[in-house]
A and B are shown apart, each in its own frame.
Chain A
């Protein structure tokens, strides 16, 4: 059986991140520590970020979930590391637009994230891809509030 459509979803970059996730683990001296789950399916992410002077110095994730959610978490941590918080939130907006099939801002180099574009064709899987980004956004907003 051939699965041409599936190849749009499971791009090799995604499977690579799933198999060998970047930034897996937790940061000891974190400034943001957030856990989030997807209650409909049980995917879970624990995200720790170290933010100093408005810059994301380090980002690590832990958790369990499907290939899409874990690969997306890996890519997200890679993408936001070294960026200022505003840029990180901007990337999150770009990513959300990409998932919704909208035109998205590609002025920032999206790198590996672009491989996730195919997920937008699989409505049931969009939430898998956005989990890590939602966690990042929530963590940043909670820190801003405090």
Chain B
């Protein structure tokens, strides 16, 4: 159940900012962390810290068990077939870069196509730009519909037999749009391409089933789903990962090392060069336990509800424009907007003075800003610890911002 009690697990939310109780509406950038996650990190360092996969001593074994235990939690969380398909990395950006540099370099050649969309985060654009430049491949963008959604007709038109990779965001970090990624994966596969999903904004909010989505790769970050920063995961289908070469070489990832040649460990460790992000993985595991306790279906329902209420109440403010799908059922708890005549930075500063944290800027999505024909926007994003009273505070803050700027003008 989502209720006010949940908020009490997040110590950071219990403070005043600029003399007002904090309302945190920037979870799409990073979520806050519950005591359960903070304690898991603390306990790991207090009682279990050691390096993994080596040594005979007890702490080494305990750390290894915790680290690999976290991998199994991630596996179950997204319903991967086996834990070998889960690679711990720094986050979504690193995960997509790994796919581009390993799978991409080996499989994309001159004249081949990589297909993405106008609503991608920079982390799902630039790795492909670099790959396309290096391989002489063509980077294609799927156009968006008027309401900021993707139509399968456009996908059909863009994906051809020359397409080797289709990469798409599941939930847009700006528009909140939930994309029909499963259907897109089918189209990709019909054309012999692999499907990469950027799940950074999806994993915290929806039940993910990679087998049912039939994606080839799924990338996501721990810090957006109440876990610590610096940890994320890449899911890949075992057959593909087995074929792929590592991109980072060194300790941890090797089997035999000779003077001039070496061999790699099995999956997933061949992709985890160097001492892994052990505490981060443990924290991510604790985050998953926390989310499971509440239930992803409950969280998703709550966010649709928040989006619906926010759009209704914010829609009542004259001169406020909301971007993305008008239908709350088509979007997650992300509401990006602009207030007439007041620049988003100025909006964010006024809100901050009222204790309300929102994001202002281009949200790491410059091509999308261009498509929206704006240079920047303000964004309120909701998570399980937000309630209707937070939306009321936001609306009140926005009205004050409007008044303030009308007065000073």
Contact = CB atoms under 8 A, between A and B. Distances in A.
Do A and B truly interact? yes
A87 interface: no
B177 interface: no
Interface in A6-26: 6, 9-10, 12, 15, 19
A9 B250 CA distance: 51
Q: Determine the main DSSP class of B at the interface with A.
A: helix
Interface stretch (A47-55, A65-73, A88-96, A107-115): A65-73
A82 to B, nearest CB: 30
B249 to A, nearest CB: 31
Contacts of A68: 345-346
B257 to A, nearest CB: 41
Give the contact-size bracket for chain A: 20 to 34
Contact of A64 (B353, B361, B375): B375
Give the contact-size bracket for chain B: 20 to 34
Which of B343, B360, B409 is packed against the most chain A CB atoms within 10 Å?
B343
B375 A42 contact: yes
Given A15-B408, A42-B362, A65-B375, A3 B350 contact: yes
Contacts of B346: 10, 66-68
Interface stretch (A28-36, A98-106, A120-128, A135-143): A120-128
Contacts of B15: none
B404 A3 contact: yes
B345 A9 contact: no
Given A12-B408, A64-B375, A66-B343, A42 B353 contact: no
Contacts of A128: 345
Contact of A67 (B343, B353, B354, B369): B343
B113 to A, nearest CB: 28
A3 B408 CA distance: 12
B345 A125 contact: yes
B18 interface: yes
A19 B343 CA distance: 12
A124 B375 CA distance: 18
Interface in B359-393: 360-362, 366, 369, 375-376
Contacts of B345: 41, 43, 65-69, 125, 128
6 interchain residue pairs of minimum CB distance:
A66-B345, A66-B343, A42-B362, A41-B361, A42-B376, A1-B400
Interface of A: 1, 3, 5-6, 9-10, 12, 15, 19, 40-44, 64-69, 122, 124-125, 128
